[in-house]
Amino acid sequence: MQTLIENVNIINPNDEFKGNQNILIEGKYIKEISSSEIHAKENAKIIDGDDNYVLPGFIDCHTHILAKGFHKEENMANPLAIHFYNGVLHAKQTIDAGITTIRDCGSADLGVKLAQQRGLFTAPKLEICITPLVMTGGHFDLMLPSGFDMEIMYPGFPKGRCDGPSEVLKKTREVKRAGADFIKVMCSGGVLTANTSPEFSQFNMEELKTIVGEAENTNSKVSAHCHSLEGINKCIDAGFSSIEHGTFIDKETSKKMAENNVTLVPTLLVHQYLYEHGFPSWDTFADEKLAKLKEIIKVHKENVQIAYDEGVNIVMGTDSGVIPHGHNLKELINLVDLGMSPKQAIAASTTKAAEFLGRDDIGSVYEGKCADMIFVEKNPLVDINILTESDNIIRVMQDGREVKNECGVM
């Protein structure tokens, strides 16, 4: 099956702007791009691009596609099936925002990834970690002082709790067996877990090196949820590939990250949203969470600015799932605020994000690439805000198939 898109303007962040282009898609790949007329097969679908701007499908490098705030009370009250049905809505909201690929940092299992690949529901392509590794008493150890464990668990979704070299080794193997593409480790306290604090590191160096060493056996990257400065330094020394959040990073550690080619996924949007909207009144731990959040919001953006100035590789992530889904590209404004041009912010969410994931088939609009593309009516290089509202994303294609169309014709 061929699809011919006529009369569009193509924006690739690492290339010159190309106006008045035609794109021929065959199957799920881009077969030809030309400013000249393209001769398609007789039965090809023809789309009038109407002088729209076409960009690569965006990549969110930190989401939780099944999550809806990570409220323990909802984990306890809802049947397990609700966890998955929530994901159907969240996935469509994410696609509609222009995100065609996500890196799920804890929630989606292999079944969710396979369901997307088999077309059972409309969703971004997924890179998954299954569940993060957590230490006893650490961030996302959901065993409450009452003795009740609020962690979701079912066959194919192992518990993340582990301690000591032998247990973290086994747990790394368990999540790989469950289908993880990468390993995520909770390396500091966090906002959402009671009795932990973001400034303190978690897991010791022997445990961290054991995890990385085992992951390397399958060429798997290891990612750290980490706010703590001490924790960030330990993760760099242990060989981690990325730091998520990085709240308390400083200049010296930023230089060290850049020298060791460790990527930062700052997720600035999540803290801003939570600070503005707070937590539900029925959340038992709302006051404790808000107190921790106030300390984080004071320094996060300022410290990420230091990291950016020191040359740390930054890619876009939002932590959607902690906050509502479908607002992902609002993070672009935060990247521009750091000093990125609109083109650089788009690159952090497309080409650079694809490189970080080790994917050479997505992240740009070129011949031979997957036909993952979004369409907008105005030029986002002139006004990046255009991309931040889902209503402005008028068409989304994924693997050559239209998964959103606000143009009135399918």
Angstrom distance (rounded) from CA 365 to CA 352: 14
Residue 306, SS3? helix
What is the mean predicted confidence (pLDDT) over 99-128?
A: 98
Q: How confident is the model at residue 301 (pLDDT cuts 50, 70, 90)?
A: very high
Average pLDDT of the chain, as a whole number: 94
Whether 359 maps to a domain, the answer reads no
Cα-based angle 158, 354, 159 (whole degrees, multiple of 5): 5
pLDDT at 149: 84
Its pTM stands at: 0.96
User: Within this chain, do residues 98 and 233 fall inside the same structural domain, yes or no?
Assistant: yes
pLDDT at 314: 98
User: Within this chain, do residues 142 and 228 fall inside the same structural domain, yes or no?
Assistant: yes
Q: What is the CATH number of the domain that holds 9?
A: 2.30.40.10
pLDDT at 410: 45
Q: What percentage of the chain exceeds 90 in pLDDT? A: 84
- Please count the structural domains in the chain: 2
Tens-digit pLDDT profile for residues 25-39: 999 999 999 999 999
Report yes or no: 310 and 254 within 8 Å, Cβ to Cβ.
Answer: yes
Q: What is the CATH number of the domain that holds 110?
A: 3.20.20.140
Q: Give the DSSP letter of residue 35.
A: S
Whether 348 maps to a domain, the answer reads no
Across the chain, how many H-helices and E-strands are there? 12, 14
Whether 181 maps to a domain, the answer reads yes
Whether 353 maps to a domain, the answer reads no
User: Within this chain, do residues 276 and 391 fall inside the same structural domain, yes or no?
Assistant: no
Out of 301, 326, 351, a domain closes at: 326
pLDDT at 148: 83
- What is the span of the domain harbouring residue 185? 58-326
362 to 12, 273, 354: CA distances (angstroms) = 12, 29, 6
Report yes or no: 176 and 130 within 8 Å, Cβ to Cβ.
Answer: no
